[in-house]
Amino acid sequence: MEAEAGITGIRRRLQEAGQEQLLRFWEDLEPAGREALLGELRQLDPRELREHCLWAQLAYKQESSAPQRPDHSMSPVPPAFLGSVSRSQQGELCAWEEEGFHQISQNKVAVLLLAGGQGTRLGVSYPKGMYSVGLPSGKTLYQIQAERILRVQQLAKDKYSTKCTVPWYIMTSEFTLYPTQKFFEENNFFGLERSDVIMFEQRMIPAVGFDGKAVLERKDKLAMAPDGNGGLYRALTDNQVLQDMERRGIAYIHVYCVDNILVKMADPVFIGFCVSKGADCGAKVVEKAYPSEPVGVVCQVDGIYQVVEYSEISQETAEKRNPDGSLVYSTGNICNHFFTLEFLKTVATTLEPLLGYHIAIKKVPYVSKEGIQLKPSRPNAIKMEKFVFDVFQFAKKFVAFEVLREDEFSPLKNADSANKDTRTTARRAILWQHYRWIRKAGGRLIDVNGCQVVANYGFSETEDPPAVCEISPLVSYFGEGLGSYVKNKAFSSPFVLDPEKAKELLV
């Protein structure tokens, strides 16, 4: 009865949007199906739906035309606004780290995780953060990240003799919210205070056919998809997240993607660099491995900061080099950003509507006009999304900070059948990092015969380290303090340095 009462108004709104086809199978539906469909349709503003579908169709037509390349309008990030772990003086790095820890100790720093995507490319049906890459401890990405937050809080507390909190905001989607909540609850929030882990949901938007019509996935369900990691800005206001940050006294937010196993949560050096430069917006970058590497480049276009995708520039531009032989456009984007709360408030409340959508042509299951459920063999629809870095253009003072790839960037995107960004490469990246930390701290790793194992290099995506050692983030955030546990000591592989083992080694 309720569905029948609501159908008249919904039908009128769909006519206004030019999307009456979404009720094509109304007469075929059982009461539960009608309620489910009406529930989705009620959330769609007719004006926004009309504009959304028209824009998707127009963008699709423009996609097939020759793209305008920004090559002649591009310029690299000026040196004054580009920091670097490898090229900055040690004194500068220490000063930035000190500033970052000071802000953390004042409860002014939060981390915000973009976790709305599913693990489809990984070949799993659950959120990526719940994935284990096969470390000896069996830890998932979520656990590793939670423990890094606990450790950075402890380091700031030890340094300033004050208890401090780094709240963890996690943006999920319709696909990932419930399993993420359940996973955290089952694991007691990995030792974090439950009230300091705040989950919220990004919007879902309809997929659109090439004819400009929203797609029905089933007779009683629209084909919906998250609105991209740039949906963050709308979600911040939809879920009153900015108000929560303001209530807690947060001033600076570190935003990152879930799939980087090496991410430094609330990185004091990065936070301190951005604060010291007076930046309202910042990006971590890594040096491109080679000119044609398929990563976006942080740069200026007509004096405006943005990320230019590798596919948008010519080979000639990608290969341009400085007099010292380095690439002119070397600043590879890794979706790791700094924002002030004031900047986020301005973007979310005023500027978000100015962000354009990016389109992706996808294979979307749908119901034919005859009511037959189909899985297309080739792309049949347009999904649209916004990107988190699209807001660089609004920054009054933008900075970039270059870090070492082997220390801070190893994304987990694909199943092991792919040749990069896999479970294996992510596991190798963190095990190599921990191997380097042990060696630097004066520890030795030995094989089954009691012989010391040493590599002639410090990292390889194609080979495992000569010995397996894993260091809990609860013991060391980024290699600090390990000498007191491992100096002049030998350890058999595999070796796991967790808090319990650390206590034993101090005795």
Alpha-carbon separation of residue 59 from 27, 175, 230, 357 (angstroms): 34, 26, 18, 9
Tell which residue, 164, 341, 340, has the closest CA to residue 244: 341
Can you tell me the distance from the alpha carbon of 330 to that of 217, in angstroms, rounded to the nearest whole number?
42
Contact of 214 with 222, CB cutoff 8 Å: yes
Task: For 399, list phi and psi in degrees, rounded to 5.
Answer: -135, 160
Q: CA-CA distance, 106 to 248, in Å (whole number)?
A: 11
pLDDT, one tens digit per residue, over 241-256 is 999 999 999 999 999 9
Over its C-alpha atoms, the chain yields an Rg (Å, rounded) of 25
Q: Identity (one letter) of the amino acid at 304?
A: I
Name the 3-class secondary structure at 390.
Answer: helix
Q: How far is Cα 315 from Cα 299, in angstroms, rounded to an integer?
A: 16
Q: Give, as one character, the DSSP assignment of residue 68.
A: P
Q: What's the confidence (pLDDT) of residue 4?
A: 62
Q: Which residues contact 182 (CB under 8 A, 6 or more apart)?
A: none
pLDDT value at residue 230 = 95
| pLDDT given for residue 170 in this prediction | 98
Q: What separation, in Å, do the N-terminal and C-terminal C-alpha atoms of the chain show?
A: 73
Rounded distance between C-alpha atoms, residue 191 and residue 168, angstroms: 13
Return per-residue pLDDT of the chain as tens, 507 residues. 455 657 889 999 999 999 999 999 999 999 999 999 999 999 999 999 999 999 999 888 887 665 678 999 999 999 999 999 999 999 999 999 999 999 999 999 999 999 988 777 898 989 999 999 999 999 999 999 999 999 999 999 999 999 999 999 999 998 899 999 999 999 999 999 999 999 999 999 999 999 999 999 999 999 998 999 999 999 999 999 999 999 999 999 999 999 999 999 999 999 999 999 999 999 999 999 999 999 999 999 999 999 999 889 999 999 999 999 999 999 999 999 999 999 999 999 999 999 988 988 999 999 999 999 999 999 999 999 999 999 999 999 999 999 999 999 999 999 999 989 999 999 999 999 999 999 999 999 998 788 888 887 788 888 999 999 999 999 999 999 999 999 999 999 999 999 999 999 997
Distances (CA, A) of 238 to 202, 281, 349, 389: 8, 22, 10, 20
**pTM summary value:** 0.94
Location of structure tokens 């037509």:
61
Which residue stretches of 341-461 are H helix? 341-346, 405-408, 423-440
Cβ-proximal residues to 216 (8 Å cutoff; 6+ apart), any chain: 21, 22, 24, 25, 222, 223, 366, 367
Q: What are phi and psi of 342, to 5 degrees?
A: -60, -40
Q: What is the pLDDT of residue 3?
A: 54
CA distance 474 to 490: 21
Give CA 484 to chain center in angstroms: 34
**Which amino acid, 378?**
R
User: d(Cα 242, Cα 500) in Å, to the nearest integer?
Assistant: 39
Question: Is the separation of the CB atoms in 210 and 58 below 8 Å?
Answer: no
**Spatial distance between the Cα atoms of 375 and 217, rounded to a whole number of angstroms:** 10
In a 13 Å sphere around the CA of 265, the CA atoms on its Cβ side amount to: 34
Domains of the chain: 76-206+224-356+388-408 (3.90.550.10), 438-506 (2.10.10.100)
Q: What is the pLDDT of residues 340-351, one digit of tens each?
A: 999 999 999 999
Which residues partner with 422 through β-bridges? 414
